[in-house]
């Protein structure tokens, strides 16, 4: 299991580093060619919105396209497309069109973000989602810090030479995936034709959660967003802020895995500082302090937002929902940026708007928290879902649960294969995993263990 967590964390770190660096190269090129207000509008607002579009496109792809190719091939195709479009977005002869080509690049970046999130839900047990995700993004922040430490004026990031670096990094990521292909292949086999086995997460809860974290994202950016011109005026060190963000992500990941509710509460508490930036607008030291607070708070919101929908996707067996949390962040934050820019000249109205969004957020948070409490209470022990408890205890995948049900019906491999429309080799693969997870020597021992658990 440590190998899987390490693999996912390194993969997320490399991928996030690659894509965020590509985005920043484009962003800095915009800054060299356009006014600050255009950079904010195109780079920070439309760029992230187009990433959200890419994530949503991938979600629909996962929902409706059942015969997906091998994960490594799928990943390689997207990486290749991403690199080609990045060339068009960054190459000096084409920079007159970079505001357009860069937006297309962001769509593909969004699709890549969605794909790596799907790796988490397929490879890592639910209790390690936040740690893997937080550590992965944290690793990307460390990589970014190292790169920016040697490129403080962003001359490399905006030079044609950066394309060689991105190409080599993309190639290295693919080699890393090929090296660990057994993990990817086993995960792919597990989710083929998997049917829903858990229905606790209702559509209304998903909608409430989506609205809640959209509001959290908007409120967070309303309070903390700083236009490009201000960053230059205050000489804010983005590199140092990334190290603060790294600490926040790792801490938030560990705490969320210990308690999802604690993570939700901390993400809401992070918003209590959203009033600081408007109040500190004319106090440079206060701006620095608020920026540090904002990056630390941002880590809790980022982790909680992403993990909520990873949990929903796992519990409902709708894996295509896994990246929705990231999409909400990519869509909600630009909305907050746009409102912030429009209200920049009216500080009192800005504070009122933050207060209004924060108030609605508290109400929705309370509703979600109450529903969460209700869903965890067993009013009658006689109707306890022992089957669900058993499968959760041993962290069985959707396909393994199907195989377990067939074994409990005393079916042999050939019968199971015919019933689930898979090969006998696939059945043997899952039976082997079932026995390993439950530490049983054979099927009879597995049946006895299951029956003994139900009788407790």
pLDDT tens track for 235-290: 556 667 777 888 899 999 999 888 888 888 888 877 776 666 666 666 667 667 77
Q: Is residue 233 helix, strand or coil?
A: helix
Cα–Cα distance for residue pair 341/347, rounded to 1 Å? 11
pLDDT of 188 higher than 50: no
Q: Are 71 and 184 in contact (CB under 8 A)?
A: yes
pLDDT of residue 110: 94
One-character DSSP codes across 344-364: TT-HHHHHHHHHHHHHHHHHH
Q: Could you name the CATH architecture of 2-375?
A: Up-down Bundle (1.20)
pLDDT of 194 higher than 80: no
The helix or strand, by DSSP H or E, that contains position 93, with its residue range, turns out to be none
Higher pLDDT, 325 or 99: 325
In order of 24, 57, 283, the CA distances from 288 in angstroms are 22, 38, 9
What 198-206 contacts at long range (C-beta under 8 Å, 24+ apart), as own/partner pairs, is 198/315, 198/316, 198/317, 198/388, 199/316, 200/315, 200/316, 200/375, 201/312, 201/315, 201/316, 205/312, 205/368, 205/371, 206/312, 206/316, 206/321
Q: How many helices (H) and strands (E) would you count in the chain?
A: 21, 0
Cα–Cα distance for residue pair 403/423, rounded to 1 Å? 12
Structure tokens at 138: 């944290």
Least confident among 48-57, 266-275, 357-366, 394-403: 266-275
Cα–Cα distance for residue pair 439/445, rounded to 1 Å? 9
pLDDT of residue 69: 67
Phi-psi group of 362: left, alpha or beta (phi > 0 → left; psi -120 to 50 → alpha; rest → beta): alpha
Least confident among 153-157, 387-391, 425-429: 387-391
pLDDT of residue 46: 93
Least confident among 16-25, 111-120, 235-244: 235-244
Give percent of the chain above pLDDT 70: 82
Least confident among 196-210, 263-277, 322-336, 431-445: 196-210
Would you give the DSSP letter of residue 280? T
Q: Given 3-state DSSP classes, what are the helix, strand and coil percentages for the chain, each rounded to the nearest 5?
A: 80, 0, 20
Q: What is the mean pLDDT of residues 2-21?
A: 84
Label residue 381 by pLDDT band (50, 70, 90): very low
Cα–Cα distance for residue pair 433/47, rounded to 1 Å? 43
245 contacts: CB under 8 Å, gap ≥ 6: 138, 141, 295, 296, 298, 299
Q: Are 321 and 309 in contact (CB under 8 A)?
A: yes
The angle that helices 203-224 and 260-270 make with each other, rounded to 10 degrees, is 40
One-character DSSP codes across 176-230: HHHHTHHHHHHHHHHHTT-------S-HHHHHHHHHHHHHHHHHHHHHH---HHH
Q: Are 307 and 256 in contact (CB under 8 A)?
A: yes
Label residue 183 by pLDDT band (50, 70, 90): low
Structure tokens at 398: 């959707």
Q: Are 282 and 315 in contact (CB under 8 A)?
A: no
Cα–Cα distance for residue pair 241/293, rounded to 1 Å? 10
One-character DSSP codes across 49-86: HHHHHHHHHHHHHHHH--S---HHHHHHHHHHHHHHHH
Higher pLDDT, 43 or 378: 43
Higher pLDDT, 232 or 329: 329
Label residue 197 by pLDDT band (50, 70, 90): very low
Class for the domain spanning 384-454:
mainly alpha
pLDDT tens track for 446-455: 988 888 876 5
pLDDT tens track for 311-364: 888 877 788 889 999 999 999 989 988 998 888 778 788 888 888 888 888 888
Write down the domain spans for the chain: 2-375, 384-454
Cα–Cα distance for residue pair 68/118, rounded to 1 Å? 13
Average pLDDT of every residue of the chain: 81
pLDDT of 201 higher than 60: no
Structure tokens at 154: 């962003």
Q: Is residue 306 helix, strand or coil?
A: helix
Q: How open is the CA angle 407-412-417, to the nearest 5 degrees?
A: 90
Higher pLDDT, 275 or 221: 221
pLDDT of residue 401: 87
């Amino acid at each position: 299991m440590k190998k899987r967590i390490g693999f996912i964390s390194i993969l997320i770190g490399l991928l996030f580093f690659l894509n965020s660096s590509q985005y920043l190269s484009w962003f800095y090129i915009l800054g060299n060619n356009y006014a600050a207000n255009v950079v904010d509008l195109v780079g920070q607002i439309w760029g992230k919105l187009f990433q959200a579009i890419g994530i949503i496109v991938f979600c629909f792809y996962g929902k409706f396209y059942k015969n997906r190719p091998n994960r490594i091939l799928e990943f390689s195709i997207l990486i290749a497309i991403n690199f080609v479009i990045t060339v068009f977005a960054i190459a000096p002869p084409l920079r007159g069109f970079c505001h357009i080509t860069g937006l297309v690049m962001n769509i593909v970046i969004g699709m890549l973000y969605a794909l790596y999130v799907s790796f988490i839900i397929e490879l890592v047990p639910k209790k390690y989602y936040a740690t893997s995700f937080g550590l992965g993004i944290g690793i990307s922040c460390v990589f970014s810090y190292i790169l920016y430490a040697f490129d403080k004026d962003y001359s490399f990031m905006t030079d044609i030479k950066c394309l060689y670096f991105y190409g080599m990094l993309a190639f290295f990521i693919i080699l890393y995936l090929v090296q660990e292909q057994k993990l990817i292949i086993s995960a792919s086999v597990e989710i083929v034709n998997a049917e829903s086995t858990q229905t606790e997460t209702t559509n209304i809860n998903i909608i409430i959660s989506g609205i809640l974290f959209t509001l959290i994202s908007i409120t967070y950016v309303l309070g903390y967003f700083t236009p490009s011109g201000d960053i230059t005026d205050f000489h804010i060190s983005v590199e140092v802020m990334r190290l603060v963000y790294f600490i926040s992500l790792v801490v938030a990941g560990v705490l969320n895995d210990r308690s999802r509710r604690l993570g939700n509460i901390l993400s809401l508490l992070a918003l209590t500082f959203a009033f600081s930036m408007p109040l500190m607008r004319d106090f440079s030291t206060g701006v620095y302090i608020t920026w540090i607070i904002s990056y630390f708070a941002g880590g809790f919101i980022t982790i909680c937002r992403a993990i909520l929908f990873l949990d929903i996707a796992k519990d409902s067996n709708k894996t295509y929902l896994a990246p929705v949390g990231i999409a909400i962040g990519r869509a909600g934050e630009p909305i907050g940026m746009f409102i912030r820019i429009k209200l920049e000249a009216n500080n009192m109205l800005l504070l009122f708007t933050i207060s209004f969004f924060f108030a609605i957020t508290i109400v929705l948070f309370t509703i979600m928290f109450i529903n969460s409490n209700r869903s965890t209470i067993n009013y009658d022990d006689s109707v306890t879902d022992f089957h669900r408890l058993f499968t959760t205890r041993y962290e069985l995948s959707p396909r393994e649960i199907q195989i377990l049900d067939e074994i409990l019906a005393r079916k042999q491999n050939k019968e199971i294969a015919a019933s689930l429309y898979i090969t006998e080799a696939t059945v043997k693969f899952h039976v082997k995993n079932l026995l390993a997870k439950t530490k049983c020597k054979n099927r009879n021992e597995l049946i006895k263990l299951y029956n003994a658990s139900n009788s407790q």
